[in-house]
Amino acid sequence: MNREEARKRAEALVGQMTLEEKASQLRYDAPAIPRLGIPAYNWWNEGLHGVARAGQATMFPQAIGMAATFDTELAGAMADTVAVEGRAKYNAYSAENDRDIYKGLTFWSPNVNIFRDPRWGRGHETYGEDPYLTSRLGVAFVKAMQGNGETMKAAACAKHFAVHSGPEAIRHEFDAIASEKDMEETYLPAFEALVKEAGVEAVMGAYNRTNGDPCCAHRALQKKLRGEWGFRGHFVSDCWAIKDFHESHMVTNTPAESAALAINRGCDLNCGNTYLHILRAVQDGLVTEETITESAVRLYTTRFLLGLFDGSEYDQISYYEIESREHLALSQKAAEESFVLLKNNGILPLQKEKLHTIGIIGPNADSRAALAGNYHGTASRYVTIQEGIQDYAGEDVRVLTSVGCDLFRDRTEHLALTLDRLAEAKEVAKHSDVVILCVGLDETLEGEEGDTGNSYASGDKETLQLPEVQLDLMKAVAECGKPVVLCLMAGSDLDLSYAREHFDAILDLWYPGSQGGAAAARVLFGEVSPSGKLPVTFYETLEELPEFTDYSMKGRTYRYMTEKAQYPFGYGLTYGDVQVEEANICTEGSGDDITELSVKAIVKNRDRTATDEVLQIYVQYLEKENTIPHPQLCGFIRVHLEGGEEKEVTVPVAARAFTIVTESGERKAVTGRFALYAGCSQPDEKSVELTGKRPIRMDYVRKL
């Protein structure tokens, strides 16, 4: 069923409803209308990295880990798994007349906000700091989730529109001030791509205001969304965001006024209960019935597109699809691709036959929470890092373990003295040939306001430092003098200066999902080469960044930073030795609206170890009009190379890469000199220093 037909069906059905019935359908928990044969429907579901909050489901790596894969095909496969398992649940539960929250087919994912500041607690829900990478992964996610069948497989939602990335503590009253240039250049491109390229079915507004207007009732953003971009789906508020209008933003005085402001400015669906006052708003002359009708029609158009009234080709998806063998294998593959090797002095991969004893130490070594991130479902089985290594080592290698310390408290047992597991950790280290030290955070320390145990910062980080007890543990283990591989499990930038100086290897595992331990063991022991790339910058200090509340991009992210990174965006080592041997610009088809040119590159693995590698293309405008100080990502492709293998690969570069954005927010195509770079990292000096390789530069003169 196409959208036009679905809308006509929706108009006919909504036309039979009373005003009260229409108004009732604008809530996330829309009640049944028995006289019309309409069942209840709950719009609220989550599927960021697996079906979330709905019981058993395949749990993939957190979104930031998926971003580190630089693998759009994989992101799509994950989203398809979410849709399939979501359908399996919907089919089973609706047959039982269970239409509760988290059991529908409208998933409020993906989160395509820009991770502009490492302090933001929800940054690990995103695809990182780069608008291009975010848009490519987001488009792949949406297309796969929604499918290309006769009916929509599941409905995706682009959130949180549009300028939203902390601080969490003040999000309900905060006004994020962003220039027109930053809006067009950084904050809006991913949303535009999801609307125009992927046809995303829903868009969710943010809690905060942006440039004065609440995001769930934003005149300029709605004009861009439905006007310039041609969005035809439905718009949903973030949960209880509309009551912020009168309680926190103070732009209205009553719930009825808030409901009126939201719906009159394009918000069709209320996650929350403020739309309970919408009939009062009608009585007060603040809202017309026609406006309510239009929102109801938009919502029912989505329900018809999903085949919820006529049936669909997905109605036979079996409950056996949930956590199928294939889905679990895909989750493990995703974890393996997501790991970023930041340092390796040659200790990795570990050689099991040369080891007698492995020590596994740290609060995240045997932590299920550190596998999960947030917005997660429930796996039927979790393989922690400790369990994965124990399983892999088998009977041949002795494994000693110690939690070492609590995640952040100063003792693990209430009646014990402080640092009560430090002696144990030292003994494990002393008796081991090599130590795997697992430190980091989990969703209780970085996450969403109200959902974390980090109440003092409402889920945000106040520092780039690990909790003090973990720093104490790191120092104690280092002093034992044994080889140490540090495994970081977190969703954001943390200061790794101590580990960089004192440990033999650093592997960033993010929050790797339920199969994370099995994946980690395969990577640590060389069954698979690490191949992930950082989707965010690891800064040396917070001091180089602007204030957290400053939404200007100046000084932020790899595109605008002024200092050298600790570990740069796009950086990640492998066990192979892949070099870009040659790169050339191919201009056949130039002038197309989608592709301006392509870069053809020859990549060769000079090592005997097979590996995946990510070829990255960066572009920089060299004329004085340009105001982005550093080259920016404009293309990438993941390529597998056997030992000694050489391949020619082609990466298309969109015409958009050859545009600039003026201070007034106008994006315009420009002529003149550009530099393009092809390499396995960005072309900054820190990446060259860390990899020993410099991307190939190609000059390109663009003419009219």
Q: Any idea which residues carry the catalytic annotation?
A: 238
Residues 45 and 108 sit within 8 Å (Cβ to Cβ):
yes
Tokens describing residue 362? 């740290």
Closest CA to 430 of 357, 518, 505: 357
Long-range CB contacts for residues 423-430, cutoff 8 Å, separation at least 24: 425/361, 425/473, 425/476, 425/477, 426/476, 426/477, 426/480, 427/402, 428/359, 428/360, 428/361, 428/400, 428/401, 428/402, 429/359, 429/361, 429/476, 429/477, 429/480, 429/482, 429/484, 430/480, 430/482
Q: What contacts 547, CB < 8 A, 6 or more positions away?
A: none
Return the H-helix or E-strand segment holding 700.
Answer: strand 696-702
Residue type, 701: V
- Beta-bridge mates of residue 402: 361
Tokens describing residue 142? 């949406």
Peptide bond preceding 162: is omega within 30 degrees of 0, i.e. cis?
yes
- In a 13 Å sphere around the CA of 138, the CA atoms on its Cβ side amount to 34
Grouping H, G, I as helix, E, B as strand and the rest as coil, residue 30 is: strand
- Beta-bridge mates of residue 698: 676
Grouping H, G, I as helix, E, B as strand and the rest as coil, residue 505 is: strand
Cα 415 to Cα 398: distance, rounded to the nearest angstrom: 31
Cα 246 to Cα 256: distance, rounded to the nearest angstrom: 10
Tokens describing residue 480? 């034992």
Beta 646-654 vs 595-605: how paired, if at all? antiparallel
Cα 52 to Cα 444: distance, rounded to the nearest angstrom: 17
Return the H-helix or E-strand segment holding 1.
Answer: none
Q: What contacts 556, CB < 8 A, 6 or more positions away?
A: 116, 117, 129, 545, 546
Strands (E), 25-168: 29-30, 41-42, 157-161
Whole-number Cα distances in Å, 395 to 353, 361, 392: 12, 20, 9
User: What backbone torsions phi and psi does residue 216 show, to the nearest 5 degrees?
Assistant: -85, 5
Beta 202-205 vs 157-161: how paired, if at all? parallel
Residues 61 and 124 sit within 8 Å (Cβ to Cβ):
no
Whole-number Cα distances in Å, 532 to 251, 440, 497, 546: 45, 18, 20, 28
Q: What contacts 15, CB < 8 A, 6 or more positions away?
A: none
DSSP conformational letter for 46: B
- Beta-bridge mates of residue 41: 30
DSSP string, 586-650: E-TTTT-SSEEEEEEEEEEE-SSS-EEEEEEEEEEE-STT----S-EEEEEEEEEE-TT-EEEEE
